[in-house]
Chain A
Amino acid sequence: MHAVGVLEAGLCNYVLLSYGHCGRSGDSMMRMLAGLNAEDAVFGHFGATGGYALAARRAMHEFRTGPETWKRIAVGQRKWANLNPRAMMCHRPMTDEDYDRSPWVVEPFRLADNCLLTDGGRACIITTRERARDLRHPPVVIMGLGMCNPAADPAPASHLAGPTGARRAGEMALRMAGIARDDIDACEIYDCFTYTVEITLQDYGFFGPGEGLDWLQGGTIEPGGSLPVNTSGGLLSEAYFMGLTPLTEGVMQLMGRCGERQLGPKTGNKTPEIIMCSDNGGILQTHSCYILTKG
């Protein structure tokens, strides 16, 4: 969103969004995460997993959700990763039984509900439509943007089980794009945890509270499904590059650069025209939504 602002203001011509990190081999990611709630370390409360686990547990109290719902997300996204040679989990299929056997980390989350730690990086260049026309690759256009940052501190947030910032950010992005939710061909959702995918799609309005399990049945988000989600495997099964994982996958799908997992005849999906992407920060405290289309 800031990139669009500086481009529109004419302050620069090209903006490079990049992320690179030795998240797996170094310890800086774990230290950053453990420091997230340093105030609460005295009670043994650390990092993102604990915070999201509190949100997910509250959600289980308020509407029908839980491991059965999240299993469909973990197993579904893994099928995409198995088509992606760059995915850390490319050669590691996941069955329902694998998910059920996955050890608890912070209950209600199993290891399979947590995203990966990755060494690597991603980058994306943003420029104006006019400049993009002269470049070598077919451009992807940002149709709509939305942002909503509802809480500074996760613990006192009154609605830990949603609606999260995704509700308003999603509405804003759809309005700016001038399209309806049904026009969306695929989603690339920031998936730090399986539950994050559920609450984001729910707050975007793809299903009502507690209807996620039914909506996900039959492989909705998987290859050949009616709404493919996280087609690279996502943060759960491809690689953790923060918001750059969903962003770059959305862009590459629309450019047609995704090989075996390219949405279209190969995967049994519609060739995508419009993809909705998300990013969020903190413990569901900040949310960005953007909608991409072919240039």
Chain B
Amino acid sequence: MTKRKPPPKINADTKAFWDGCRERELRFQKCEDCGHLRHPPAFLCPHCLSSRTVMVKASGRGRVYSYAVYHVAFDPAFQEDLPYIVALVDLEEGPRIVSNLVGCDPGAAACGMAVEVAWDDGEEGLCLPKFRPAGA
């Protein structure tokens, strides 16, 4: 039997982000005072400390800032995925997100490569925003 993967940590701060994912939309917090887009979600704007926030929808396009190729499953649930790529993706709107690079050979991954969101159906109607090489 395969072990279940850890679910996302959903709390008052992150709920809006994961609600968006259910509808296959990448939604980020935007500060209503200074316009800064932030991720991970937080109660206050890290730039101006304002708590006035709106959610904005991102295009899903971005570039790989960095990536790491896992050859060891720190959680046995990921054993069957080895080797897999964890990537930091800079979205064109600004926020940086931790995710996976999928549909890409580890040897072909590169910092700066253009990527787009690739929705991965998770459990209980939850969709995980992963990324694949743009136009693939």
Which A residues fall within an 8 A CB radius of B?
34, 37-47, 50, 53-55, 57-58, 60-61, 103-108, 153, 155-156, 160
Bitwise, B76-111 to A at CB < 8 A (1) or not (0) is: 001001011010100000011111100000100011
Enumerate chain B residues within 8 angstroms of A58, measured Cβ to Cβ: 65-66, 88, 111
Contact status A44-B100, CB under 8 Å: yes
Contact status B68-A153, CB under 8 Å: no
CB B52 to nearest CB in A, in angstroms, measures 20
Contact status A43-B86, CB under 8 Å: yes
Which B residues fall within an 8 A CB radius of A?
5-9, 14, 38-40, 65-75, 78, 81, 83-84, 86, 88, 95-100, 106, 110-112, 122, 128, 130
Residue of B nearest to A158 (CB): B96
Contact status A42-B74, CB under 8 Å: no
Given contacts A38-B9, A156-B96, 11 further A-B pairs with CB under 8 A are A39-B9, A43-B130, A44-B78, A44-B81, A50-B70, A57-B67, A58-B88, A58-B111, A106-B68, A108-B69, A160-B66
Given contacts A58-B66, A61-B66, are A106 and B98 in contact (CB under 8 A)? no
Enumerate chain A residues within 8 angstroms of B72, measured Cβ to Cβ: 104-106
Contact status B6-A42, CB under 8 Å: yes
- B128 is contacted by which of A42, A105, A108, A153 (Cβ under 8 Å)? A42
Residue of A nearest to B130 (CB): A43
CB B122 to nearest CB in A, in angstroms, measures 8
Enumerate chain A residues within 8 angstroms of B71, measured Cβ to Cβ: 103-107
Report Cα–Cα, A208/B123, bound state, in Å: 48
Contact status A47-B40, CB under 8 Å: no
- A42 is contacted by which of B8, B67, B81, B96 (Cβ under 8 Å)? B8
Instruction: Identify the 7 closest CB pairs spanning chains A and B, nearest first.
Output: A61-B111, A53-B68, A107-B69, A58-B66, A46-B74, A104-B71, A41-B6
